[in-house]
């Protein structure tokens, strides 16, 4: 969006420099730095009835949920989602686990969302995760580690489109 400079007008109404400053400051703070990440509450999270507890931690950490659903991946869709790990020795185990029951993918919005979310969930291996993180609190192993978080803004966008259509993504005002 084009932000008018001080002294310009918007639809014929003059804009004071103070208004223009406050408006651009608001946009800089609340819109330009906003980032999205994709998370999945994995089948172990659903089975342990921890959906509410984990979402509570996510929301308390300042993330806004802009898309959410509960689905069950097939071995084919789980295999596609984790295709980047196809050559890893744990790929078969990962696909079997991710298709073993329902999961809850969500798109989350926050300043610095990708990095802040990975800090919130902790290391892949719960034994290595920092105290207070989601995986330290709730996960059993590297394979069954409760939650996924995108590793970059670019992958967050690809992963978000894997689960959600444009109509299913609704920003919070």
> Annotated catalytic sites, by residue?
148
Residue 153's nearest CA partner among 108, 106, 124, 113 is 113
Indicate whether 142 belongs to the interface with ligand CMP (CB under 6 A).
yes
Stretch that binds ligand CMP, among 31-39, 50-58, 72-80, 140-148 (CB under 6 A): 140-148
Cβ proximity to ligand CMP: between 123 and 169 the closer is 123
For residue 11, CA distances in Å to 4, 8, 15 come to: 11, 10, 10
* Total residues in contact with ligand CMP, by rule CB under 6 A: 9
CA-to-CA distance for 149 and 159, rounded, in angstroms? 10
Q: Does 101 bind ligand CMP (CB under 6 A)?
A: no
Cβ-based nearer residue to ligand CMP, 19 or 91: 91
Q: Is 143 in the site for ligand CMP (CB under 6 A)?
A: yes
Q: What is the 3-state secondary structure (H, E, C) of 81-143?
A: HCHHHCCCCCHHHHHHHHCCCCEEEEEEEEECHHHHHHHHHCCCCHHHCCCCCHHHHHCCCCC
* List 124, 137, 155, 169, residue binding ligand CMP (CB under 6 A): 124
Among 6, 29, 75, 90, which residue sits at the site for ligand CMP (rule: CB under 6 A)?
90
Least distance to ligand CMP, CB of residue 97, Å:
8
How many angstroms separate the CA atoms of 101 and 21, rounded? Answer: 51
Binding residues vs ligand CMP (CB under 6 A)? 85, 90, 93-94, 124, 142-143, 145, 148
């Amino acid at each position: 969006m084009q932000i008018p400079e001080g002294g310009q007008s918007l639809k014929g109404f003059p804009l004071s420099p103070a208004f223009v400053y406050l408006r651009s400051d608001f946009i800089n703070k609340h819109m330009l730095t906003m980032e999205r990440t994709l998370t999945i509450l994995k089948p172990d999270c659903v089975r342990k009835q921890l959906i509410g507890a984990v979402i509570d931690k996510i929301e308390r950490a300042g993330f806004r949920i802009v898309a959410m659903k509960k689905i069950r991946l097939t071995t084919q869709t789980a295999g596609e989602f984790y295709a980047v790990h196809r050559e890893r020795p744990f790929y078969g185990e990962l696909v079997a686990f991710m298709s073993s029951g329902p999961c809850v993918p969500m798109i989350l919005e926050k300043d610095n969302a990708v990095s802040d979310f990975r800090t919130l969930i902790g290391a892949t291996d719960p034994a290595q995760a920092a105290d207070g993180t989601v995986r330290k609190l709730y996960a059993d192993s590297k394979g069954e580690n409760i939650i996924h978080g995108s590793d970059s803004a670019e992958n967050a966008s690809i992963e978000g489109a894997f689960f959600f259509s444009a109509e299913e993504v609704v920003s919070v005002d």
